[in-house]
Amino acid sequence: MQTEHREEDKVKVLIVEDEIVIAKDLQKNLERLGYSVPGLAVSAKQAMEKVREYHPDLVLMDIMLNDKEDGIEAAKKIRSDFDLPIIYLTAYSDNQTVKRLTATEPFGYILKPFDVNYVKVIIDIALYKHSLEREKERLIKELQNALEHVKRLKGLLPICAWCKKIRDDRGYWQEVETYLHEHSDVDFSHGICPECTEKFHRDFTEKHKKS
């Protein structure tokens, strides 16, 4: 039995297309396939307004909008401001157009007229690629944050052969614990090793017998 998805759980797609008949037909077919299409936009300005209003998961962007508006430039703005995956809708497949499209690193482009099942495949792949991108960025940030908190010791350490103090860069001699605490993320918990336990216990017993 097919499970009905709640509206808030559906993937939200914003369609930016100035040919309203094509836009409405695409909206109807995507909603039939289980997507949510909360609104349509026919211009770059409307597209920005709808993105702010609806917070879509993905944008289908026609590359040639009303009044010769450039959908590619609008897509670049949406991508940089909102980090949304963009899929281009276009009737053009000439080399110049394809070069312009690929230069903006889209998550796909679809030639008109299109089959809605093919559109679904491209949308699902784009969403998957975008989720991988975000996960990669998250891991990179975590690694950068971790590296910022890591202090590394390298080079030769001048250490006293008798008392085991270490000379720092300013020429002062410090206890090993103090030096390592200041130059790394190491904390100390003190104890006594078995050899020292035996030695000091034996020395203490002998002194106690003598006394």
Mind listing the pLDDT tens digit for each residue in 82-97? 999 999 998 877 788 7
Mean pLDDT across the chain: 83
Tell me the percentage of the chain whose pLDDT exceeds 70: 83
Could you tell me which residue, 164 or 52, shows the higher pLDDT? Answer: 52
Q: Contact, 42 vs 20, CB < 8 A?
A: yes
95-134 pLDDT, tens digit each = 887 888 887 788 988 988 889 999 999 999 999 999 999 9
Domains, the chain, ordered by start: 7-132 (3.40.50.2300), 166-210 (no CATH)
pLDDT bracket for residue 171 (50, 70, 90): confident
Asked if the model's pLDDT at residue 3 lies above 60, the reply is no
Which of the four pLDDT bands, split at 50, 70 and 90, describes residue 203? low
Q: What confidence category does residue 1 fall into, taking pLDDT thresholds of 50, 70 and 90?
A: very low
